Amino acid sequence: MHPHDRFFLLGIGVLLAATAAACDEDAPGEGEGEGEGEGEGEGEGEGEGEGEGEGEGEGEGEGEGEGEGEGDPVDDGVFVVATFNTGSAGGARHDVGPDDGYSSAQAEITTEYYGSGLAWRPAVEGTAAFLADLRPDLIAFQEIFHTPECEGIPADARVGYVCDAWQAGDPTVAQLVLGAGYQVACNLGKPDKCLAVLRSFGTFRGCAQDLCLDGLAGARVDECGSGSRVGRGVVDLVGGGEMTVVNFHGSSGAAAHDAECRRRQVEQVFEDLDGAPAANGARNIVLGDFNTDPGRLELLDESAERWNDFTEGTPFHFVTECGFNATPTYDGAVNIDHVVSDAFDGDCVAAGIDGALPAVLDFTYFDHTAIVCTLAGP
């Protein structure tokens, strides 16, 4: 998170009582109107490319080759999805004990050379252990380091990171933390934002390999950074049928321009990504780091208001807890990592926060946590 965003979060505390959101049926009131600015955001590495349009099927065979799914086919009637922004907390108290080997100096290296993405090897290994136990059917990543970028990182900044022994053709971090049996497809021009599906559950249409960079349909929003922060994938289910999955990572920052970029990205989900809404399937799941809290910031952030516009009086609804009374899952103040669907519902937990699921790591690294939902639907 950027320092100015933390100060903004402190400033909105006095306004929270007046901004109860429509996404929480039990909220004390419903806020109306639109505002500018927003209290979320974290440093991240921008992906490569400025392209837009369909990106399906441009695969790269890095890592494990074309593996078969492991285990018995999963019934798509009940399944597990997760969203996880794996960026590191640059402003966290890394030097406070116990000594876990990851200091503030280490955090500065992560920010400067790795875009704050998941790259420090002990954190990668710990995340892999967490996901091996969880084994989600679908997962969305944001801010996950893309290992081919190791080529441009100096040797002294590689020690302790995945780049230390990296060679061309090695698995990406997404592949490392997931292990065998998954297929990974990434946002257009954004290899740090990827969806993954367990092959025993389904496969991405148009993706023939284990890793498809630019494998999700998308489009860049002008004047809002490179690549596409919205990525659509169609999953053909092993049990028959299909679902459309959208990986969303809203622009970060508290400025009015940042909120405008987020608004336009939300509109890509529900109105027009590439001539059609990103969520254009018969059954849709939208998940990711929204970088706004629709339950608390509707009066302050036009993108929060737009999320509420599209989830009120429509089949789309928040599956994750959303509202003034929701247990905060980010920075102890807000809820910005969410799952939305028009066809599925279920229960969600935040790793390390509500006691239902342990923290991903036992040391300070991430500023988000994994959100895990067990879903069911038609």
Domains of the chain: 3-376 (3.60.10.10)
Query: Each residue's pLDDT tens digit in the chain (378 positions)?
Result: 443 344 344 334 434 444 444 575 443 333 333 333 333 444 443 433 333 444 444 444 443 333 333 444 445 489 999 999 999 876 667 766 666 778 888 899 999 999 999 999 999 999 999 999 999 999 999 999 999 999 999 999 999 999 999 999 999 999 999 999 999 999 999 999 999 999 999 999 999 999 999 999 999 999 999 999 999 999 999 999 999 999 999 999 999 999 999 999 999 999 999 999 999 999 999 999 999 999 999 999 999 999 999 999 999 999 999 999 999 999 999 999 999 999 999 999 999 998 899 999 988 899 999 999 999 987
- Sign of the CA dihedral running 86, 90, 92, 94: positive
94, burial (CB in 10 Å: exposed 0-12, middle 13-18, buried 19+): buried
> How big is the chain by its Cα radius of gyration, in Å?
19
3-state class (DSSP) for residue 144: strand
- Rounded Cα distance between 178 and 140, Å, is 12
- Rounded Cα distance between 292 and 1, Å, is 13
Nearest to 311 by CA among 334, 290, 333, 330: 290
- Rounded Cα distance between 228 and 211, Å, is 18
The DSSP symbol for 330 reads B
In this structure, the number of other CB atoms found within 10 A of the CB of residue 355 comes to: 8
Query: What is the distance of C-alpha 109 from the center of its chain?
Result: 22
Nearest to 367 by CA among 47, 89, 151: 89
